[in-house]
Structure 1
Amino acid sequence: GGLSNLLFKCALPEHILSVGDEPRQVLLRVYGAILQVSASGAGIPPDWQPPPRPAAPEQLQGSGLCRHLPPGPGLAAAPRLLRPQGVDSLVLESVMFAILAERALGPRLYGVFPQGRLEQYIPSRRLRTEDLRDPDISKEIAVKMSRFHGMVMPFNKEPKWLFGTMEWYLKQILELTFPEEEQLKKFNHLKTYNLQEEMKSLRELLESTPSPVVFCHNDVQEGNILLLAGHEASSSDKLMLIDFEYSSYNYRGFDIGNHFCEWVYNYTHDSWPFFKASAENYPSRQQQLHFIRHYLSEDSGRRGDTTHEEQARIEEEMLTEINRFALASHFFWGLWSILQAKISTIKFGYL
């Protein structure tokens, strides 16, 4: 789609020798057209129309080869984040990407430029929705998320991201209009739910729900988790989190609850609306406890020793915390989808 990141696998021809320890292949990420709207921090004009998709480059400057990577196993042209923060968030994202790479929690960063960046190309495949239910994979995701949450990052540590972003989304939505009758009908139906009151009720519920503020990924879905090539299925370090556009200090419950919601959605469905929701796949109590226990086990060094009774109490409290914040995940991505229906050129059933 014209508003997605464009991803290119770029490699040196076989007859060209690399210099020193420079990589022979990299991933070129070109930011999508959404930044024309969002990097300025301005709103979305009601009559805004997406620009045409630029032609894909066949070759980078110099002797390297550059091949466009379409959506599919291992890589995707993922929709770009709508950014209420403006262009400063691009700088923060580059800093964050570099720090995570340095800590071996993400791909290496080779360079940045105003329209995108050069990243390490990692032979891998993205997880599938059904992979999330695999106990070994779920365990490792829990461990990786716990490590992520334990990081101290040089960013604002106040949890303003969740409701700040939703308020910005909602402000844009209330000013939207749709030219197509079918979309307008769906949009008007959504507005009958009084989204402002729904968000007010959600805020009141979550303000009464204790949840630690940690550094969150905020989008741990299967497409943002790589299964590294060459790692045995039983390896305890076979996964890597990617795509940190949404990462910020936020409530722990949102990050885990959002991940549990992703168990339900398959985004590779081959017919309209190009996703399939299976509510029965939401993790059961036992599957949630499996995740929570491995999350807490990795976190034990920061929490100290706990008794069996304390552990059981913490687990029950986390179950409540996570499933309440899962409601925020639904609301957040619901607002996001309404905006995407207006500005995205990707064929997808956003409304």
Structure 2
Amino acid sequence: MNLRSAEPGVLKLSMTVDEDKLIEGALKVLAAIRPTWIEENIKFKVFTDGITNKLLGCFYADAPDDVILVRVYGQKTDLLIDRNAETRNIQLLHAFGYAPNLYATFTNGLAYEYVPGEILMEDTCLDPQVFPLVAVMMANMHRVDCGPDVPKEPCMWTKTCQFMNIMPDKFSDVEKHARFVKLIPNRQKLQQEYELLKSELMDLGSPVVFSHNDLLLGNIIYNSKKECVTFIDYEYASYNYQAFDIGNHFAEFAGVSEVDYSRYPSPEFQRQWLRIYLEAYLNPVEASEKNESLEVTEYDIDVLYVQVNKFCLMSHFFWAIWALIQAEHSTIDFDFLGYSATRLEEYFARKDQFLSLKMPDL
């Protein structure tokens, strides 16, 4: 196994971890990044929350606070994710204090710092002690400047077109294909919906900011002792519309394993959340230190509310197309085809309601 530094402090390992031999592969990774660890004293835990990758926690008896996560990319996810950009994002956001420390990359995965805490659940995402932390963290992340080398263009249209170009029209599994024909609109219909969304959303005036783009509940870690949250899994992070990132987060209140869209946050909750977000986004710490602050008005909240709910439709559409690709290629035990159908069902159920929302008058 060859290794070299990908960036300062990050090793690039020339090796591949077999997803069916996670522990064996993780030991090779640990030999490079924790060479003093004795194999007999290492314990492992497989995390099963994710539906994209395989994740293994590595615990060492003599270093209880130094827990390593080894993440092995799901099969064919290179079709969906720019791994070089992901590595850059994690390092950049770690420097700002918004992401865990990255220790190493290997051909089909990463090794990074474990963040202590609990992932958000369908109840804790509504907790008044928790959701303001999420809103402020997102606002802070949205102010990150990636520098001149990263185009400040919304990724959403290019990424969605990319996904639509590679989504299957026919599945290799006969039974799966039969379900696909029954559950999913044809390509022409999906293309029409995409064009409609693009025409409706492009002129809403949502700012383009550095976005997580996949802020489901399982990607938010809440540490009750420190009263803080950390975002993880920056696979899809890129510049995008502010309202997409927020609308996508609200859509994820429904959960993933057992999706229930009655959990989509109420207008009253959304307005609370958006006020806290805007107060942080419009008034960064450096401004408050100078006693310079901008007042968040009801008009500001009304505008963002309309933008967020309209962009929530794009969230449903985007992840439905993503799930179709996963349904053909992923080896993870998850009903991606059913998930795609669920997202599209919610898209069509909310489409007229959300697209009819009007911007407030000045």
What secondary structure sits across from 1:136 in the alignment?
Answer: coil
Residue in structure 1 matched with residue 65 of structure 2 by the alignment: none
Change (3 A) 1:111 1:53: closer
1:31 Cα offset (Å): 8.0
Partner of 1:168 in structure 2? 162
Determine helix, strand or coil for the equivalent of 1:70: strand
Higher mean alpha-carbon deviation, 178-187 vs 193-202, is at 178-187
Q: Distance in 2 between matches of 1:319 and 1:101?
A: 30
Q: Pick from 191, 204, 212: which aligns with 2:207?
A: 212
Q: Which residue of 1 aligns with 2:60?
A: none
Q: Aligned with 2:47: secondary structure? A: coil
Aligned position for 2:107: 114
Query: Which residue type is aligned with residue 200 of structure 1?
Result: E
Deviates most, 325-334 or 146-155: 146-155
Q: Would the alpha carbon gap of residues 72 and 290 (structure 1) be closer, same or farther in structure 2, given more than 3 Å must change?
A: same
2:275 equivalent in structure 1: 293
Moved more, 103-112 or 338-347: 103-112
Residue matched to 2:23? 56
Distance in 1, Cα, partners of 2:239 & 2:135: 18
User: What is the SS of the residue equivalent to 1:277?
Assistant: coil
C-alpha separation in 2, matches of 1:84 and 1:72: 22
Deviations 1:92-116 (A, max 9, x none): 2222211211221111122334343
Cα deviation code 1:173-219 (max 9, x no counterpart): 2x542133331122223133711111111111111311000000011
Asked whether 1:191 is paired with 2:191, we answer: no
Q: Which runs of 4+ in 1 moved over 6 A?
A: 30-33, 73-76
User: After superposition, where does 1:46-195 map in structure 2 within 5 Å?
Assistant: 53-54=20-21, 56-57=23-24, 59-60=27-28, 61=31, 62=35, 64=37, 65=39, 66-72=42-48, 77=54, 80=74, 82-83=77-78, 89-154=82-147, 155-173=149-167, 175-189=168-182, 190-192=184-186, 194-195=189-190
Deviation sequence 1:52-75 (CA, Å, 0-9, x none)? 734531734355235443125799
What are the ranges of 5 or more consecutive residues in structure 1 without an aligned counterpart?
A: 1-21, 23-27, 34-51, 268-274
- Superposed, 1:10-29 pairs within 5 Å as none
Identify the residue that residue 349 of structure 1 maps to in structure 2.
335
- Contact 2:152–2:209 (Cα < 8 Å) also in 1: no
- Conserved 8 A contact 2:115-2:230: no
Q: Deviations over 1:79-100 (max 9, x none)?
A: 74844587xx322222221121
Q: TM-score by structure 2 length?
A: 0.71
Gap runs ≥5 in structure 2: 1-8, 56-72, 338-362
Partner of 1:226: 221
Output the TM-score relative to the length of structure 1.
Answer: 0.73
Question: Is 2:275 the partner of 1:281?
Answer: no
For these two proteins, the number of residue pairs brought into alignment is 288
Instruction: Give the structure 2 partner of residue 261 of structure 1.
Output: 251
> Displacement of 1:323 after TM fit?
0.2
Residue number in structure 1 paired with 2:311? 325
Identity of aligned residues (%): 26
User: 2: CA distance between counterparts of 1:318 and 1:90?
Assistant: 31
What's the CA shift string for 1:249-273, capped at 9, x where partnerless?
A: 00001000000001112x3xxxxxx
